[in-house]
Every structure is written in C-alpha cells, then in structure tokens.
Structure 1
Amino acid sequence: MRNGFPELSIAVPGTTATRPVEVWRTSRRVESGFHDGLAYAYDGRYLFCSGRIRHTADYAAATRDAYVRAFELLDRLGYPEVARVWNIVGGITGQVATEGPADRYGEFCQARAQVFRQRGLTVKDIPAATGIGGHDDHTTVYFLATRSRGVIRIENPLQVPAYEYPERYGPEAPCFARATYVAAETGGRSGDLFISGTASILGHLTVHEGDVERQTRTTLENIAALVSGKNLRSHGIDAELTLRDLDCVKVYVKRPHEAEIVRQICTASLGSKSEVGYVIADICRDDLLVEIEGFASISRPDVETVN
C-alpha cells in the first residue's frame, strides 16, 4: 500500500529501460484497506484487490484459499460481480511434482475451478481474465469487481469458449470469458469493455506455431472479431468498435528479441489514442509467442439526434 492505495510489483519486465506502470484511476472518493493478506481499494462502483500466492508444496490449496479469501472480501464489502482478473503465474508452463495436472497453469486452473463451483458460479458469471507467466516463484492475482448488475460476458465467434476446451489442455478448462462489459450506472448505452488476454488460437488450436508475426496478426484479428458490432450486438450490446477504438492495450511477448516486430505490427493496427504497454512474459501454452489484452470505454448517447 502506498499513500493509501494498493501497489503491486509484478515479475514481468518491460521491453525498454523504462519500467511500465499500470494505474487504475477514479474521480470518486476511495476507501482502502487490508483483508487477510489482500490489499484493496474501492470507490462505490469498482473494487480493486490484489494478493500473492506462494508456490508451496500444496500450491492448489494455497490458490483455493486465496480465491476464497477474495470472495469473502467481495461479500463483506458488497461487490458481487467479478469483472476482470489478472493471474501472473510464475513458471506457468513448468512441470509440477503432484498427482494432478502436469504443469503449473493446469494446477492453477483446477484450483480456481473448484472455488468457482463452490460459489455456484456458472459460465454466465465468470470474469474476463489474463493468465500469463511471471519470472518468480509466486502467483500474483489482482482483479476488479463491481456493484453493477449490468455485467455481460462476451465470447469470440472465432474461438471455442475457454471453458469448453478439450481435456488435452488439462483436466480443468480455464474459467474465463473472452471479454466482459460493465454497463454504466446511469444505464443507457455506455459502459466499460474489458478484453481478456487473447492469443493466436482459432477454435481451440494454436495456429502459426513458431511464427511471431503471424501469431500477432491472428491475435489482433481475434480481438477485432470480438469487439465488432456484429459480435457485440449478438450479446445485447449496442456498440461497434474496431482495434483503433481501444483505450488501453497490454502486449505480452515471450521472446525479448521479437518484441520490436510485435510492436511494429501493433502500432500499425491500433489507433493513435491507444495507450500500449509491452512486457516480456511466458504465455500459458509453450507454442504461443504473444498475448494481447485491452480495455475500451464505450460512451454513446441514449438518443441520437438527426439534423
């Protein structure tokens, strides 16, 4: 905690000498505090919460405990809807010495799914999420929850929903939506769109293995399809976006020497208003080289005037 606000260091180095900093701002009064190892702050619309999970011998139990404590906090403060989660898993594709999943990410997904089931969450309740690999021996979790009941989970027409992945990717499929939309408190057609970490996956298969340029382009095409008017309207959201409408974008690159080619492709595809950060991180599959997430604030008048 710094000056009354949660502060979290993440073991994913930037691609330049300047270390990237992610800041979530609000114009409202903020209350903050600690709860059972978790730091949090809230403003009446959103709650931000963060914590770390040690990679102990019983990592699955530690992960379940962390998620349970987080939900206890949401219940206590009255923020029932988890809109967006980031999971930075150290050694995400590394092997683990347990009888469960073969890798750390599989173990994490299994523990998270168990807590979601205990909470009675269905695919209509799961948040947008990012799961990437950090360069330490912790799992760092941070998330945004909301009091809004106008939360819509969005899937991508080009991809199988993550929660329907076949068992070849692990005994528990990842529990997240491709994006979530949080309607403005005033209703109407405005709201916040949180785009999950997206990669070069079509259906459920990795495509363009070993080719970072083609993987980056496919990832951007996936996001473009996700935020298209056709897809948003199919989920009941009256909006139409392109890649150039994204306000904030975060790009995870697996191999440092490929960061510049990824940057060039993203710069050509994204709008000049987009704030874009690049970091070096492992991706949840060995054959994925890049992952991209984003955020867009949708502001549309309730009544359009025609002159």
Structure 2
Amino acid sequence: MISSTLHSCTEEDAAPPPGGAFRMAAVEFRSAPASLELGEGHVAMTVPMARPGEPGHRETWWCEEPPEIGAAGGIRFALGDEVAFCAATIEHRSVYAPVVERRYREVFDFLEGHGYRRLLRVWNFIETINAANADGLEVYRDFCKGRSDAFAAHPEFYNSMPAATGIGTTGSGISFFLLAVKDTEVRHIENRRQTPAYRYPERYGPRSPSFARATAMTARRGEPPTLFVSGTASILGHETVFEGDIEKQCATTADNIAELIANCYGPSKALADVDTVKAYVRHAHHVPFVQAFCEATFGGAALAVFNVDICRGDLLVEIEAVVGGAAVRV
C-alpha cells in the first residue's frame, strides 16, 4: 500500500520496491532553500536539513497505483486509492501560530473532503526552533499552538493523533508533510515510560504538542503491522533526563523506542529489526558518536543523521524509526 526508500543524495535513485510501485513523493533533505512543487507524476519537496558541503538524503514514498497529483491552495498532494501524501511550506513569520493553524486546517479539510480520515504519520521541520518569536514565545511552542488549534477544529483527527516529528532545520520557514489513509487499520501507541505529549503540563507552552509516540499500520489482514516511531528523545515522564550527557541520552532514547516496539510486536521484534532510522543531533561534535550508536543499535537499518536543533534546548539527540513489516521496504 505504501513503502519508502531512504538513501544518500549521492547514490542513484533506488528502484521501486518489489511487486511494482509508483512514486508518490520525493523529499530531499539537503543544504538548499525549502521548495515544494509537482514533479513528473509525483510531489517533489526539498527540506533544508544538511549543512553546506554535506550530500543530504532523499526519501521516496511509493504506492501501488499511479497517484493523482495536484495542488489545492498551499497544499501539494499525491493521492493513491488508499493513502494520501500531503505537503505544505510556510515562509518565515515573526509569529507562526495563526498561519500554522490555517495551513493545517487547510490540509485537514482537504483530507476529510477526499475521504482520508485517518492520519498515519506527520513530519514538521521548523526554523530556529528554540529561538524566541516576536512575542517572546519559543518558536516551537508558537508552532505547537497553531497546530493544536487546528486539531481542535477537527475532532476526528484530534481524537486520533498520529506519530509525528517536530525538529529544527538549517533554513528558513516551516515545512511539513504527512501520510493519511482511508480505511486501513491504524493504532496510535503511547509509551508507559513517558507522559503522552498531548498531556504535558503548561510549563511546556500554551498548547501541548499534538502527537502520539508511535502509530502502527496494518495494511492487509494477516500481515504484520508497520510501526512508525515518532521523534523520540531522552524524556521520562515529561522531563528531560541526563542533560548534557550524549551517551546516556542516546541509551534512554533507544530504551524508549524499544518500549514502543515491544508494545506493538511483543517479543517478536526488537531494536535490531528496525528498517529505517533518522537521527537528529544538536551539536556537530556529537554526530560521529550518534552515527556509530545507531549503526550498532539498529543493525542494518537505512540511516540518515542530521545536525540540527531539537525541540527542547536540553535535548542533544532525537531519533525516529520505522519497523517494516510487509508494507515498508528499504
């Protein structure tokens, strides 16, 4: 139904997954301004995530039939029979919440109008994520306010928040893209080690972040689910732990991901079964350690590592993952 490939931009484009597939979208994470356009039969998106001189990475999303692609207002979309890919960009603003709310509501209205009523996975890329906006509010909290207000206006999505990532970028503005489905079974998963993000206390901002810790998708009856793990960090309860210690933050992050995998699969899968990993690292001098940690922890997973800021100033690393099942192939 939906599959992905992830590789360096210096490599040749990966072939479609086995069984036949059609490109829905290609997202390039590189040192370039944000862009969003319609390519030849797919959505083409650039997110500024690499540093000058770094090759960056390309993530390609595939579906089983030729998608319908197009534009609706500020949205670019690719629609398969069962799955939708939607993306949008927002130019730099001194205050983001009002325009984030409008753009998210635009996407939600579009999805509901086309029958894609189950959110599967969301990625948000936010400039100067830890800086203050014109009102003195941290940009991430400014973003969360707009996103939360959009969810509140759409009860069906509000009551079923999906896995998500909210991370810094090396460029300007905000970019986001998401996957949604019509009838496919999805289950949003929390971590007993962590407070659900949407229940964080007010100390983290005027609106709580709007996401679940992971989402499991069962594409076909009898197949194992695919698990989309949100951006995960060294947080227990709602508090950051091991401030300033990259080794312990990585270990705690991996333990949190292992908990989500166990919640979904029981003992049949573990960290070594992860298919795709993206790691976000605050400080450049920590990148080699995180790269090696991920390679050792996640086995042969396809891996991309980015040197960007993270949603809390005391977090050094954030890691997201996909555990494949039959639906995701790398």
Give the TM-score taking structure 2 as reference length: 0.83
Q: What does the per-residue CA deviation read over 1:224-257, in whole Å, with 9 as the maximum and x for residues that have no partner?
A: 11111xx22xxxx677321111111111111112
How many Å separate the matches in 2 of 1:66 and 1:122?
15
Gap regions ≥5 residues in structure 1: 301-307
Checking the alignment, whether the CA contact within 8 Å between 1:67 and 1:115 is kept in structure 2 is yes
The 3 A distance-change label for structure 1 pair 16 and 295 is farther
RMSD over equivalenced CA pairs, Å: 2.0
Checking the alignment, whether the CA contact within 8 Å between 1:85 and 1:128 is kept in structure 2 is yes
How many Å separate the matches in 2 of 1:113 and 1:2?
31
* Corresponding position of 1:266: 294
How many Å separate the matches in 2 of 1:123 and 1:9?
28
Alignment of 1:64 with 2:101, yes or no, is: yes
Checking the alignment, whether the CA contact within 8 Å between 1:91 and 1:134 is kept in structure 2 is yes
Alignment of 1:289 with 2:292, yes or no, is: no
TM-superposed CA distance for 1:221, in Å, is: 1.0
Give the 5 Å matches for 1:24-63.
Answer: 24-63=61-100
Checking the alignment, whether the CA contact within 8 Å between 1:148 and 1:183 is kept in structure 2 is no
Give the 5 Å matches for 1:97-108.
Answer: 97-98=134-135, 102-108=137-143
* Corresponding position of 1:212: 246
How many Å separate the matches in 1 of 2:66 and 2:296?
38
Secondary structure of 2:133's counterpart equals coil
How many Å separate the matches in 2 of 1:144 and 1:191?
16
Question: How many residue pairs were aligned?
Answer: 290
Q: Which protein is richer in strand relative to its size? A: 2
Q: What does the per-residue CA deviation read over 1:27-56, in whole Å, with 9 as the maximum and x for residues that have no partner?
A: 322211111021111221211111111232
Letter in 2 for 1:150: E
Checking the alignment, whether the CA contact within 8 Å between 1:84 and 1:143 is kept in structure 2 is yes
Checking the alignment, whether the CA contact within 8 Å between 2:117 and 2:157 is kept in structure 1 is no
TM-superposed CA distance for 1:298, in Å, is: 2.3
Q: What does the per-residue CA deviation read over 1:197-244, in whole Å, with 9 as the maximum and x for residues that have no partner?
A: 00011111111111112111111111011111xx22xxxx67732111
* Corresponding position of 1:160: 195
Checking the alignment, whether the CA contact within 8 Å between 2:67 and 2:80 is kept in structure 1 is yes
Give the 5 Å matches for 1:1-307.
Answer: 1-13=38-50, 17-98=54-135, 102-121=137-156, 124-184=159-219, 186-228=220-262, 231-232=263-264, 240-272=268-300, 274-299=301-326
**Deviates further, 23-32 or 13-22:** 13-22
How many Å separate the matches in 2 of 1:270 and 1:46?
28
Give the TM-score taking structure 1 as reference length: 0.89
TM-superposed CA distance for 1:76, in Å, is: 2.6
Gap regions ≥5 residues in structure 2: 1-37
How many Å separate the matches in 2 of 1:267 and 1:40?
34
How many Å separate the matches in 1 of 2:205 and 2:54?
37
